[in-house]
Amino acid sequence: MSEITGVITTHLAALGAATRDRKVFAILTRNPQFIEDLPVTGDDGTVWIEIANIVDGVLLRFRDGELDSVRTNARRHGDYYPYPTPRDLITGLDLSTATRGDVMALLGEPAGATERDAAKEASHLRYEAEGGTVTLTFRDDLLETVTVSRS
């Protein structure tokens, strides 16, 4: 298990919390410009709700009322802006310039990884952390997103 510090620890601590929990509000109130989508029920009966803070580049996904994942954008992607304080999310890493090599130099060998090939546009590094899993997605060797999710 990798020791990961920074603002990301508040995301990890919030996993499993309800939509109105103070741990969730701590993520959302950094910038009050968030949008809550209507619930969507999957074929298996699972109810998904997404709360997005487009300006901060953060997307929270709730599964059956509990926070399942938090995605943070390192670069502009669609309507989402990059995370506004790129050096704060993970201590020792600047999201705006981070490469796979930078991440591995800081966090060590990942628990899992996928390489980019002709069929895939992105590659991933996955680390187990206290409270959940951290998945880093790269395009063209630059960090694109950091997602924390329940293990």
**Residue 59, CB-side half-sphere exposure with 13 Å CA sphere:** 17
pLDDT in tens, 94-116: 999 999 999 999 999 999 988 87
Q: How confident is the model at residue 35 (pLDDT cuts 50, 70, 90)?
A: confident
Q: How confident is the model at residue 122 (pLDDT cuts 50, 70, 90)?
A: confident
Residue 34 has what pLDDT? 82
Residue 77 has what pLDDT? 87
Ranges of each domain in the chain:
8-149
pLDDT in tens, 46-76: 999 999 999 999 999 999 999 999 999 999 9
In this structure, which long-range contacts are made by residues 21-27, counting pairs with CB atoms below 8 Å and at least 24 apart in sequence?
21/67, 23/67, 24/51, 24/60, 24/67, 27/58, 27/60, 27/70
